[in-house]
């Protein structure tokens, strides 16, 4: 349950939920709902969180945990703990230069950051952040020449890994969009007036001018270069014919690690591996695409068994505490990704807020490892958990939302 923490100082936040509360107070409703909302009745959004509560820890006693090491490695490179910042778009809506704030905080925390195709900053700008492990997320657009140019830019910028998102070639039914916008590119008048009640956001984001999409500049029509117009136009340009042939093409085109994000079937994960994918991200797009979909944690152990060792396996969705990371790793994940947790920090306090979010997750993860009696990430295994083979029925999360406001429903 979200806390009603009154302070605006991100350094005093003790949980991601408290950062979320700070973000909600600072952001206009239309922006907070973009950050926080899910598709349709938000069944998937709630399930992503509920499944973590349905997994219990089984600690081992009398193990020496005077020294606990959370470090791990992905694609042959070390990282501070098994966490990466997930690709998210429109981060300039949360804070001015939001992509760079995320990147600098990730570099300082010694973890990777995945940049979205629809980020506000350009590939080259984010990749140039000192010390950053830069990953690039890719949507497949209809324009083949643009795709080739985007890949060339990522290569020249020194991008470490490419992440192909495969669950968004058809846009989800995000009803909060329909509630908030008079047209696909214009917020309702009531929402625009409500935004004026958030002077800090207005000064930081609105008055200097809401940023555009740096990576799309070369293909955007002249009349679609504002944020709303570009966002609507880009949705129409994502290729709905996305198929396995695109993965085959990328594998021949991209020489570095290639990750497929958005799979929810163990058999699809195996097929992606056999097609040359170096990594898999089990994901339902944070509950923003197919409502009623399975949560990644539910099929994690089965997918790890199907893949065996050697393929990097990650999940996202619902990560709010270090204990969530520990459960995912114990069930077979090499790491987790999270978009909302760092973004709550970004919205609440800029780069300092992101740094606080990452520090909280790392500290909590270390503490959980110690309380479980595990001294290294490799020690986290299914025997740390109860009823791993059968997570049991979910609590009732299928209740229709009715007339209740999206902002008042539990996340």
Task: Kindly write down the DSSP assignment for every residue of 246-289, as one continuous string.
Answer: HHHHHHHH--S-EEEEEE--HHHHHHHHHTT-SEEEE--GGGTS
Residue 185: the pLDDT is 67
Residue 88 in marked binding region: yes
Residue 285 in marked binding region: yes
Mean pLDDT calculated for residue range 14-21 = 96
Residue 225: the pLDDT is 66
> Across all residues in the chain, what is the average pLDDT?
90
For the full predicted model, state whether its pTM sits above 0.75: yes
Residue 137 in marked binding region: yes
Least confident of 143-147, 151-155, 231-235, 339-343: 231-235
Active site residues: 285
DSSP annotation string for 180-206: HEEETTEE-HHHHHHHTT-HHHIIIII
Mean pLDDT calculated for residue range 223-239 = 75
Residue 115 in marked binding region: no
Residue 399: the pLDDT is 32
Residue 246 in marked binding region: no
Residue 179: the pLDDT is 83
> Checking DSSP bridges between strand 335-338 and strand 258-263, what pairing results, if any?
unpaired
Tokens matching residue 175: 């009803």
**Model confidence over 63-119: pLDDT tens digits?**
999 999 999 999 999 999 999 999 999 999 999 999 999 999 999 999 999 999 999
Mean pLDDT calculated for residue range 287-308 = 96
CATH architecture label of 10-389 = Alpha-Beta Barrel (3.20)
Residue 182: the pLDDT is 75
Give the residue among 223, 224, 269 at the shortest CA–CA distance from 244.
Answer: 269
Q: Say how far apart CA 298 and CA 210 lie, in whole Å.
A: 39
Residue 288: the pLDDT is 95
Query: Residue 138: left (phi > 0), alpha (psi -120 to 50), or beta?
Result: beta
Does position 40 have pLDDT exceeding 80, yes or no?
yes
Does position 401 have pLDDT exceeding 60, yes or no?
no
Cα-based distances in Å from 359 to 80, 187, 363: 11, 35, 6
Mean pLDDT calculated for residue range 382-396 = 62
Does position 226 have pLDDT exceeding 80, yes or no?
no
Residue 402 in marked binding region: no
Give the residue among 283, 286, 293, 287 at the shortest CA–CA distance from 315.
Answer: 283
Give the residue among 294, 303, 298, 296 at the shortest CA–CA distance from 272.
Answer: 303
CA 230 to centroid of chain Cα atoms: 21
Domain borders along the chain are 10-389
Residue 15 in marked binding region: no
Q: Say how far apart CA 157 and CA 178 lie, in whole Å.
A: 37
188 contacts: CB under 8 Å, gap ≥ 6: 180, 181, 182
């Amino acid at each position: 349950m979200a806390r009603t923490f009154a302070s605006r100082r991100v350094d005093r936040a003790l949980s991601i939920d408290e950062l979320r509360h700070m973000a909600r107070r600072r952001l206009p409703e239309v922006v907070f709902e973009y950050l926080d909302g899910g598709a349709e009745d938000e069944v998937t959004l709630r399930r992503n969180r509920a499944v973590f509560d349905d997994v219990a820890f089984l600690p081992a006693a009398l193990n020496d945990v005077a020294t606990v090491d959370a470090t791990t490695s992905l694609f042959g490179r070390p990282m501070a703990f098994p966490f990466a910042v997930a690709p998210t778009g429109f981060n300039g809506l949360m804070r001015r230069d939001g992509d760079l704030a995320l990147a600098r905080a990730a570099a300082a925390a010694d973890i990777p950051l995945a940049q979205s195709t629809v980020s506000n900053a350009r590939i080259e700008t984010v990749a140039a952040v000192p010390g950053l492990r830069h990953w690039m997320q890719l949507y497949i657009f209809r324009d083949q020449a643009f795709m080739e140019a985007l890949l060339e830019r990522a290569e020249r910028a020194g991008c470490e890994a490419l992440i192909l998102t495969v669950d968004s070639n058809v846009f989800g039914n995000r009803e909060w969009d329909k509630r908030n916008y008079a047209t696909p590119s214009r917020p309702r008048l009531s929402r625009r007036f409500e935004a004026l009640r958030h002077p800090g956001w207005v000064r930081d984001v609105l008055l200097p001018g809401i940023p555009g999409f740096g990576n799309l500049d070369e293909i955007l029509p002249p009349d679609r270069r504002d944020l709303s117009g570009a966002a609507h136009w880009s949705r129409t340009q994502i290729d709905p014919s996305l198929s396995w042939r695109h993965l085959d093409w990328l594998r021949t085109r991209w020489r570095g690690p290639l990750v497929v994000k958005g799979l929810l079937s163990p058999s699809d994960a195996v097929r992606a591996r056999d097609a040359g994918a170096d990594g898999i991200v089990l994901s339902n797009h944070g509950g923003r695409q197919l409502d009623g979909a399975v949560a990644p944690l539910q099929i994690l152990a089965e997918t790890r068994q199907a893949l065996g060792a050697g393929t990097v396996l990650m999940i996202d969705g619902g990560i709010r505490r270090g204990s969530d990371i520990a459960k995912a790793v114990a069930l077979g994940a090499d790491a987790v990704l999270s978009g909302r947790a760092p973004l709550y920090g970004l919205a609440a306090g800029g780069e300092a807020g992101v740094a606080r979010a990452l520090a909280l997750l790392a500290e909590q993860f270390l503490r959980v490892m110690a309380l479980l009696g595990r001294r290294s990430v490799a020690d986290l295994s299914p025997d740390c958990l109860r009823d791993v083979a059968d997570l049991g029925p979910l609590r009732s999360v299928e209740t229709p939302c009715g007339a209740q406001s999206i902002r008042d429903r539990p996340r």
